[in-house]
Amino acid sequence: MEVVLTVPIFFSKPVSPFLLGKYEKLSLSTVTLQCHSHSPLKRFRLFKTDGKRRLSELQGHHFNNFTLGPVTGEHAGSYTCSEAYWSAPSDPLEIVVSGVFQKPSISAHPGPLVQQGQNVTLRCHSLVMFDKFILHHENSTGHFQRRGEMLTGGYAPADFSIGPMTLASAGTYRCYGSLRRSPYEWSAPSDPVDIMITGLSKKPSLSAQRGPMVRSGENVTLVCSSESAFDQFHLLREGVNLGRHLAGGQSPRRALQAEFPLGPGTPAHSGVYRCYGSFTCSPYSWSNSSDPLFLSVTVTVHPFWLFSLRIHYKYLPINHGSTHHRR
């Protein structure tokens, strides 16, 4: 895989460059840096700073392409280029290599579903004593950007406040950790957390096919439906996402619906359920929550069990002279 980065030079006034891709660890790959000016025959010099010292000129005088790799942690740093003899250096271009340290953890508080206009706090933390956490955001268009960074002291977590929530703020977030001694070498990315904005469309309805009270062992199917043209529905139990289903079929009232089969009911299925609707073209925008559905799964006690219990207790020997039973 070859990644081409542009470090533009416009006369002696450079134009700001951009960062490297998605910060995946580029082992066994190369990176090509390009410097540009009006004259395609110009030669350039490439310089690197790794955060600890300014290194000498790299690779001598070249035309506008500089190929680095296979990429390792040694290539992480801040790069500038200039024309061979007279131009000012470009703005720096950071190349960050991730995967050097163990991934941190990320969590959303109070939760990943955020009403329009409200705030959410993303907490990054790790057992590694990182000096800094970096938060990255990817939206529905695939645009990937650094959302913020925060210095910490050893084991202290970093809390990033996101809000007031808008559609642009929703998306997938990850965090990275880094150490002061090697600022361009980052940890592996945390597991992603998806932040959804809710409340931009009307709530769907949630019902149970056999009613909200079922016996243990009976099949349980919940149905989420809406008169809005949602093409997918999401089911949550006590705030935990149980998955999504594409809309398929219509109710007698011609509302689009999706069925969520939960299998044979057990007491573990009891709880409060809600569902949301969304569109595949805007996956981070969910509707208002449905009204809660209180599902109760009861256990049927067979009369034979009760009879056995009565017989057991009837003939259980009791020694009144001791606190212990003797058999």
Which of the pair, 316 or 66, is modelled with greater confidence?
66
Which of the pair, 312 or 31, is modelled with greater confidence?
31
For residue 308, pLDDT beyond 70: no
- List the single range of 69-73, 145-149, 227-231, 312-316 with lowest mean pLDDT: 312-316
CATH class of domain segment(s) 101-196 = mainly beta
Locate 319 and state its tokens.
């020694």
Mean pLDDT computed over 266-278:
94
Write out pLDDT tens, residues 63-102.
Answer: 567 777 777 777 788 888 777 666 677 777 788 888 888 9
Mean pLDDT computed over 141-154:
74
**Where, residue-wise, is CATH 2.60.40.10 in the chain?**
2-95, 101-196, 205-298
Which of the pair, 142 or 193, is modelled with greater confidence?
193
Q: How many residues does the chain have?
A: 327
Percentage of the chain modeled with pLDDT above 90: 40
CATH class of domain segment(s) 205-298 = mainly beta
pLDDT tier at 25, thresholds 50, 70, 90:
very low
- List the single range of 7-16, 67-76, 171-180 with lowest mean pLDDT: 7-16
Mean pLDDT computed over 6-27:
32
Mean pLDDT computed over 255-265:
89
Write out pLDDT tens, residues 200-223.
Answer: 899 999 999 989 999 999 999 999
Q: Is 190 within 8 Å of 106 (Cβ atoms)?
A: yes
What is the distance of C-alpha 123 from the center of its chain? 12
Mean pLDDT computed over 3-29:
34
Which of the pair, 52 or 239, is modelled with greater confidence?
239
Candidates 221, 205, 203; CA nearest to 295 is 221
Specify the pLDDT at position 264: 93
One-character DSSP codes across 218-286 = SEEEEEEEESS--SEEEEEETTEEEEEEE--SB-TT--EEEEEEEEE--GGG-EEEEEEEEETTEEEEE
For residue 168, pLDDT beyond 50: yes
Superfamily of domain 2-95: Immunoglobulins (2.60.40.10)
Burial of 201-220, coded b for 16+ CB within 10 Å and e otherwise, reads bebbbbbbeeeeebeeeeeb
